[in-house]
Structure 1
Amino acid sequence: MSSSILSAAVQQLAPCAWYIVAGALLAFVATRVVYRRFFHPLAKIPGPFLASVTTLYQAAYNAQYYKKIEQLHQIYGPVVRINPNEVHLSDPENYDKIYYMGTRFGKAPEFYGSFCIPHATFSTPSNEVHKGRRAALNPMFSRKMVLELESIVQDKADKLCKLMAKGLRETKPVDLHHAFRCVSVDVISDYAFDKSYNLMDQPDLGAHFFVMARGIGPAMYTFQSLRWLQPLALKIPPWLAPKLSKPLGTVFALQMEGVNQIEDVRSRMEAGKLDTEARPTIFTELLKPENYPGRPVPSTMELKDECYSILVAAADTTGNAMTTAAYHIMANRDIYDKLRAELFSAFPDPHATLDFLTLERLPYLTGVIKEALRLSFGVIGRLPRVTPEPGVHFNGYYIPPGTTIGMSSWLMHRNPEVFPDPMKFSPERWLDPADFRRLEKHIVPFGRGSRQCVGMPLAYCELYVTLGTFFHRFAGLEVFKTTPHDLEYEDFFSSYHLAGRNWLRAVGPVLEKV
């Protein structure tokens, strides 16, 4: 009897329990919303209601959030709250107050942690830890080393020209979208491992590799919005990951690529097959015990993160700049003619090797490259940093310590007060020395300050040598079907052209000899 009474009582109380749980959950959410909107330290920062109370606002825009942020600035002004604990700035005068040498603004752990590479120099939140890791990379990316290894870039630029000539002989449009990216990845893999990927030799021009690199973007955004999911996802066995989630499978695939490459370099070093003095590489240097006095050499699992970040960084940023330059050169005959006239003035021999030191002194080519970097943006979205003690003031608003704050090249490079008619590709705007110095302050494709992209010297070498050589050898090339609409970007940290568009291809007359 007592048992049946107890059972009946439980049955009556069960619905009440669910109501209690649901009520408690609703109260928790409501309390959190009210706090974030009205009592949070950022409550006075203007911005949309939903952005102030949930990161799901950002998730709704995903890879197009950088465009939405621009719209928010048009509505709310130069300081906007874009996430519950994140503020975005648009005033270009603020850039050097955040991103400078010796900055006290560290990288935002929640944002950079979503890349799943905690041991990489790029994603290190602490500026002090970053300084130590960066010191190991700096020598390989110094201007001195870039000049010593310029022959690698020259070789890839020559292969690109042969690829173009082959396409012209066969009267087929040449896929420059992937070809330019091949140059960058083939250079960095040679630079990193003394074993180039040689994507330009593959029938698909490495399209499979670039799909893999692009695939990390969705995983990155998922982990930013659902932070609790990341540690669970990374415990999934590598063989199972691609079956559960294509983006997660991509993350694991790139990590395993790093493991395999580092183990290959290590084994070749131990077998004496690499002359690390005559031909240093990024990972022979990172594996040398003498470069770590008083501490152990990083493990393969730690260095794989460095490998991951270097390969992904090479996959699109420099290729985007080359694509942007080539499109506008071929689409504008005046730019094409002026560039070739300058190149032939410096290099009259049509089959000359165009050296980097001479190329970088050519003012019109420099203007072309600056415009290409400006309109390819490098990292198109925000670069989040953590506000240090005791907080800062921007445009009349106090930003408390611990707040994530950032700016973006998308807004910097398209500011009409700095760059009149900002979407116009105009090398001429860089020709006057006084204008050059003024504009240079506001172009930030590699970031700026202590966390500026370590690969900038190599990227400039690739841009000058590849574009200079390519347009020195080929006259009369034309864009095949690509329009400005096809060059729009989505933000997966690096800028990626939208899938399904007419990516850059070229057609033109055949030259007798290339």
Structure 2
Amino acid sequence: MDSTKLFTSDATFWLQSRLPSSSLSWLSALTIYDVLKIAGTLILARTILVSIYRLYFHPLAHVPGPTLAAISPFYELYYDVFLGGEMTNHCMKVLHPKYGPLVRTSPSKVRSNDPESYHVIHAMGYKTERDPNFAKVWNLHRSIFGMTDAKLHKSRKGLFGGLFGRQSLAGFEGAVQGKCKVLVDEIKRRCDSAVKKEQTWEWVNVRNATCALTMDVMMEFLADGIGSYNLLESPNFYGDIIESIDLTTQLPHLFRLVTPIAMFLHHYCPKSLKYTLAPYLIQYENLENRVREGVDKYKEAMESGKAKPTQYLVAHRELLPKFDINAEDYSIEAMVMFAAGVNTTAYTIQYTLYLLAKDKVIQQQVYEELRRLFPEKVSGQDTTDSFDFRRLESSKLLFGVIQEGIRLGDPLPGVLPRVTTSHGLNVNNTYLPPNTVIDTTCTQMHQHPAIFPDPKKFDPTRYSGSPERERLSKYIVSFGGGSYTCVGKNLAMMELFVTISRLVWEFELEVGEGLKGGWEAKDRWVAAKVGGDAVLGFRKRVHA
């Protein structure tokens, strides 16, 4: 018998066995094509009814936005997944100018670009919570980074407060200075080699160099160097782990589309097949093993009373006792600290160096500012290789340079979705009911002309006056805001000030050939440099 007729016959028999025969006599004449037509009609009818509901009767029907966005989530996914992270640009250039500061971008989602509303959405006190659907993308529900329950997040965050405080981190500054010295010494060596070859500049891939620095710093911070890759000592500062970290942090847009599939493969796919589908996971799991090794060794040493004194502050030593019930949870947190502390900080350093290489006037001003801040180095009384962090951050010019590097570099351009709680929330004089997802981005804050006039301009003097410094700083939001502010902000700022100052003191900077047309980046949730390597020229500076 023909398979089509067999299928139709079986379907008819199934229905006839469950419904009165008098009402189903017409089924015997149905073909598979008739069944498909009926199914298609029902699907079409449902789609029309759902679309009408979402357009006119949904709790967000009063929020303006494109019709397609109100009907389907695929409007947003089209721009972020298929066009590669273009939704924010589309909002800034098209949607907000047309519909206003609050736009409906999906059936149950809105996006706000109003600077004042940002601090309502990301307020202290958990007036909104993390979007659980977005948190699933990272598969980190047991980590401070992925926790959606406000009480659990508050409790877990409390364990980290002391470690990342300014006073506590003073005990780690020596390690940051030491790693920075390794980087500077290696670039100096290469500059000397370039001079011997009669080359004016030594061209350095600053993406590799800065990632090597931040990775080695984080390994020192977590486990006193246990399991460190020592990338600062590797050829061209490179390691395969850099690519793995980049890929891992750049997948959220895609994973939003295939989260169930990705989670299934993560938990049930054989490792051999998993590594074939995603080779970067080999290095990533190697990193996990190194981090866990550091945790286990510290745990064993502490339990046996054989833990040795360390030269610098070590996260494992400070935090493991607080996780004595479940060391596995701490291993997850340590992994998150590593991943979060590498990519975004390194990218900001790269971009700030690029801005200084492009603007020779400001580059020279920074050098002169360092001479003013550290006269003992100019006179030769201090020949050490460190620049005191507290003195560096007291400089208005250096503060402005770092803030502009964060603002223009925009290391975290992706959305930071929050969900309204049972009370709802008023945003832009518009009531948003419970369970509404509100998207905000750092990009839309950092590029808002009402806050930063001529927003594309690199202008460290924006922050010169005390009122302006305080006012503008609250709109630099790459570290998040409110109750979910990044716990590692102080450590990142220390790395930024120390590294950039040290490199400008030791070297003149020049834009590489591939960057003369500008720095091009894409929103992969984190910023991703595209269009060629980030290469800058370095030349040893002669101190007068």
Instruction: Give the TM-score, by structure 2 length.
Output: 0.85
Q: Which amino acid aligns with 1:325?
A: T
C-alpha separation between the residues in 2 aligned to 1:12 and 1:281? 77
The residue that corresponds to 1:59 in the other structure is 77
C-alpha separation between the residues in 2 aligned to 1:121 and 1:252? 25
The answer to whether the aligner puts 1:297 opposite 2:325 as a matched pair is yes
The answer to whether the aligner puts 1:22 opposite 2:40 as a matched pair is yes
The residue that corresponds to 1:189 in the other structure is 219
The residue that corresponds to 2:486 in the other structure is 453
Relative to structure 1, the CA distance from residue 147 to residue 73 in structure 2 (aligned partners, 3 Å threshold; closer, same or farther) is: same
Q: Which amino acid aligns with 2:415?
A: R
CA contact (8 A) 1:488 1:497 kept: yes
Q: Which amino acid aligns with 1:407?
A: T
Q: Deviation digits for residues 52-100 of structure 1, max 9, x if unmatched? A: 2222222222222221222311221100111221111111011111212
Q: Which amino acid aligns with 2:428?
A: N
Alignment of 1:88-487 (within 5 A): 88-171=111-194, 172-195=202-225, 196-217=228-249, 219-237=251-269, 239-243=271-275, 245-246=277-278, 250=280, 254-255=284-285, 257-271=287-301, 274-275=307-308, 280-288=313-321, 291-292=322-323, 297-300=325-328, 302-348=329-375, 349=377, 351-352=383-384, 353-474=386-507, 476-483=508-515, 486-487=518-519
Task: Mark the structure with the bigger radius of gyration.
Answer: 2
Q: CA deviation at 1:276?
A: 6.6
CA contact (8 A) 1:56 1:225 kept: no
The residue that corresponds to 2:15 in the other structure is none
CA contact (8 A) 2:424 2:434 kept: yes
Which segment drifts farther, 44-53 or 228-237? 228-237
Which segment drifts farther, 29-38 or 406-415? 29-38
Q: Which amino acid aligns with 1:283?
A: H
Which segment drifts farther, 236-245 or 272-281? 272-281
Relative to structure 1, the CA distance from residue 485 to residue 217 in structure 2 (aligned partners, 3 Å threshold; closer, same or farther) is: farther
Which segment drifts farther, 360-369 or 23-32? 23-32
Q: Which amino acid aligns with 1:64?
A: E
C-alpha separation between the residues in 2 aligned to 1:461 and 1:209? 24
Relative to structure 1, the CA distance from residue 31 to residue 170 in structure 2 (aligned partners, 3 Å threshold; closer, same or farther) is: farther
Q: CA deviation at 1:497?
A: 1.5
Q: CA deviation at 1:24?
A: 3.1
Relative to structure 1, the CA distance from residue 333 to residue 220 in structure 2 (aligned partners, 3 Å threshold; closer, same or farther) is: closer
User: Matched residue of 1:148: which SS?
Assistant: coil
User: Matched residue of 2:111: which SS?
Assistant: strand
Which of 61, 64, 68 is 2:90 aligned to? Answer: 68
Q: Deviation digits for residues 228-279 of structure 1, max 9, x if unmatched? A: 3244222233514545632xx5467535632442234313441566437775
User: Matched residue of 2:38: which SS?
Assistant: helix
Q: Which runs of 5+ in 1 are unaligned?
A: none
The answer to whether the aligner puts 1:488 opposite 2:520 as a matched pair is yes
Relative to structure 1, the CA distance from residue 324 to residue 76 in structure 2 (aligned partners, 3 Å threshold; closer, same or farther) is: same
Q: Deviation digits for residues 329-379 of structure 1, max 9, x if unmatched? A: 121121011111110112232544211111111121111111111112242
Which segment drifts farther, 312-321 or 450-459? 312-321
Instruction: Give the TM-score, by structure 1 length.
Output: 0.89
C-alpha separation between the residues in 2 aligned to 1:199 and 1:250? 18
C-alpha separation between the residues in 2 aligned to 1:33 and 1:241? 40
Q: Deviation digits for residues 193-249 of structure 1, max 9, x if unmatched? A: 222332222224235222212212564223322443244222233514545632xx5
Q: CA deviation at 1:446?
A: 0.9
CA contact (8 A) 2:204 2:538 kept: no
Which segment drifts farther, 271-280 or 326-335? 271-280
CA contact (8 A) 1:255 1:305 kept: no
User: Matched residue of 1:88: which SS?
Assistant: strand
Q: CA deviation at 1:399?
A: 0.8
CA contact (8 A) 1:186 1:199 kept: yes
C-alpha separation between the residues in 2 aligned to 1:65 and 1:489? 14
C-alpha separation between the residues in 1 aligned to 2:289 and 2:58? 44
Relative to structure 1, the CA distance from residue 376 to residue 241 in structure 2 (aligned partners, 3 Å threshold; closer, same or farther) is: farther
C-alpha separation between the residues in 2 aligned to 1:212 and 1:486? 26
User: Matched residue of 2:527: which SS?
Assistant: strand
The residue that corresponds to 1:32 in the other structure is 50
